Amino acid sequence: MTRITPADGFAIVTGAGSGLGRALARQLCDTGFTVIGTGRRAAALEETGATCAGRFTALPMDVSDFSAVRQGFAEVTARHGALALLINNAAVYPKRDVFDETPELFWQSLAINLGGVYACSWAALQDMAPRGTGRILNVASYADIAPLPASAAYSVSKGAQRVLTRALIADLFDRFPGIVLTDWLPGALATGMGIPDGLSPETAAQWGVKLALMRDEALNGAVFERDMELLPPRGLKTKLKDTLMMRRPRPRRL
């Protein structure tokens, strides 16, 4: 299994000011990476940096400000060299009922949760594509499968984000198989966006970082939930063939 190392370049983690993003950034720093962390709150990013042994650089930025994303990514790649890894983690979960979720507020959430993922991926690809190598990990969710009350914007945007991952792969894989994109579902976490009795972001980040540093081309389009791969649905014909040939698909584990 090919793995990314600090010799390959630096990492960007969006939404690094708290919760899972902070835990991901800190663990990448502990692994030896230079990490650029984005977020809308400069003070929160500085708190993240205080735990990262001097390897963390704050990049205050709203990922829904596409001009700022384009400029920010260009500046950090000019300063730090090759961008080896992008973790698209930034998201909002406003928890508004449909009568409170105006069309304008709905669109603001989509601009962050979906538009921000595309903008950051597009900006990262400007550096990765000429080199033909790179890693993008999208922090995903099952929110679109069974939406909770007061979650319309979050559910729609996170479901569309998983479609976006597949669409990017459709555009990139034939020409740039060395740029690997994967969706990762960390599950319910004990964060501001999660639930009080959820998994600690530090525990989840161990799996996320391990997956993010795996650069095998076979991971292109794979989906992992916590520490295990989710195998794609199989049709009846495939199931019958596997049974006859005594094959049992086995998901990969982190």
Which portions of the chain are predicted below pLDDT 70? 234-246
Q: Is the pTM of this model over 0.85?
A: yes
What integer pLDDT is reported at residue 224 of this predicted model? 97
Phi, then psi, of 56 in degrees rounded to 5: -110, 135
Angle (CA) 161 210 81, round 5°: 80
What integer pLDDT is reported at residue 20 of this predicted model? 98
Tokens coding 69: 């994303």
Q: What is the mean pLDDT of the chain?
A: 94
- In this structure, are residues 32 and 113 in contact, taking their beta carbons and an 8 Å threshold? no
Task: State how far Cα 213 lies from the chain centre.
Answer: 12
Q: Where are the beta strands (DSSP E) in 70-132?
A: 83-88
240-249 confidence digits (pLDDT tens): 666 666 677 8
154 is catalytic: yes
Cβ-Cβ contacts under 8 Å for 29 (sequence gap 6 or more) = 35, 52, 53, 55, 56
What integer pLDDT is reported at residue 235 of this predicted model? 67
Catalytic residue, candidates 93, 118, 142, 154: 154
Q: Are strands 134-139 and 223-225 parallel, antiparallel or unpaired?
A: unpaired
- Could you tell me how many helices (H) and strands (E) the chain has, helices first? 8, 8
